[in-house]
Amino acid sequence: MSKQIIRLSNNAADRIKYIMSKAEDSAIGVRIGVKTGGCAGMSYVMEYAREIKPNEEVIEDKGVKVLIDPKAIMYLLGTEMDYKQEKFSSQFIFKNPNETERCGCGESFKV
């Protein structure tokens, strides 16, 4: 069996379930991708998914459906997605074993 592209922590799954409960009815899950930009070269992108696009990987983990943009698969392999809530901020965190560098603000990365 091949390694799962992305795993969700309990906090991330709970947060996605909460977000989905507030989403429009047409959303079937969340889509994760990467885009070029940021000080280290690439950043993560999340959006509501309304349909499964061709060649997307669909991962169901802890009752949550996550769709992975085919262009992002090689960058995300083995990543754990977590959600951290602090006093003044809350964010999804990607613990990506493929990263070779991450910018100081944590918004972008390099593989």
Q: For position 34, which CATH number holds?
A: 2.60.300.12
**Number of domains, the chain:** 1
Contacts of 37 (CB under 8 A, 6+ apart): 43, 108
Residue-range definition of the domain harbouring residue 26: 6-110
What's the rounded mean pLDDT across residues 13-22?
92
Give domain status of residue 15, yes or no: yes
Supply φ then ψ for residue 13, to 5 degrees: -60, -45
The answer to whether residue 57 is domain-embedded is yes
Question: pLDDT value at position 70?
Answer: 93
Q: Is the pLDDT of residue 42 over 90?
A: no
Average pLDDT over residues 19-45: 85
Does a structural domain hold residue 53?
yes
